[in-house]
A and B are shown apart, each in its own frame.
Chain A
Amino acid sequence: KQEVTQIPAALSVPEGENLVLNCSFTDSAIYNLQWFRQDPGKGLTSLLLIQSSQREQTSGRLNASLDKSSGRSTLYIAASQPGDSATYLCAVRQIEGGSEKLVFGKGTKLTVNP
């Protein structure tokens, strides 16, 4: 059974700092990995998607990497801003018996202090 773990559970940093969020998964047979952002009381917003054959994806100040063989992904946020404060979730997509599903971690709650 796939398990996704995100460390740390919470992180507080001063504005302007570069930071890394970690995600690990137990079964490397994934189809892709997706990073989401969730603001309090809101739905999820997709940030980046990395296919299993890719090593990284970039969007603006965000860079996500994937090392499938070791079951790890990182989300790098450059020059953090207070508006980056949110919970960040990673999810891996698996295909089993013709059906597919996303398995989520519990998230990292990020606070960027002005």
Chain B
Amino acid sequence: SQTIHQWPATLVQPVGSPLSLECTVEGTSNPNLYWYRQAAGRGLQLLFYSVGIGQISSEVPQNLSASRPQDRQFILSSKKLLLSDSGFYLCAWKKQETQYFGPGTRLLVL
């Protein structure tokens, strides 16, 4: 069966520090992968999606970036975090028509 992992589960970072969140998928190959952010009082916002290695599409211009160095690995990064980057970050993959989500990473920027 397929599973999706995210780490870390929780992260507290100072403003201006770098960020790296990792997502890996097991049990499938060549999945479509997605990064979402869920901020307090707001719906899920699609940040990036990838249809293959090295192929990244950005939905929202901001100080975040994404990379897909391997087929089942999706990384969300920032060089300098802002207070507004705080939120719950969810990685997801798509099988046929259904989207499946990871457990999420809660990021607090202070």
Contact = CB atoms under 8 A, between A and B. Distances in A.
Interface of A: 4, 31-32, 34, 36, 41-46, 49, 51, 89, 91, 93, 99, 101-102, 104-107
Contacts, number: 49
Contact of B103 (A4, A43, A49, A106): A43
A44 B97 contact: no
A87 B100 CA distance: 16
A34 B43 contact: no
Nearest to B42: A106
B49 A107 contact: no
A43 B97 contact: no
A49 B100 CA distance: 12
Report whether over half of chain A's contact residues are helix, strand or loop; otherwise say mixed. strand
A48 B106 CA distance: 26
Contact of B100 (A31, A46, A99): A46
Given A42-B103, A42-B104, A99-B57, A107 B97 contact: no
Interface size class of chain B, counting residues whose CB lies under 8 Å from the partner chain: 20 to 34
B18 to A, nearest CB: 24
Interface string B37-61: 0000111101001000000010100
Contacts of B98: 34, 46, 49
Q: Which of A44, A91, A104, A107 neighbours the largest number of chain B CB atoms within 10 Å of its CB?
A: A44
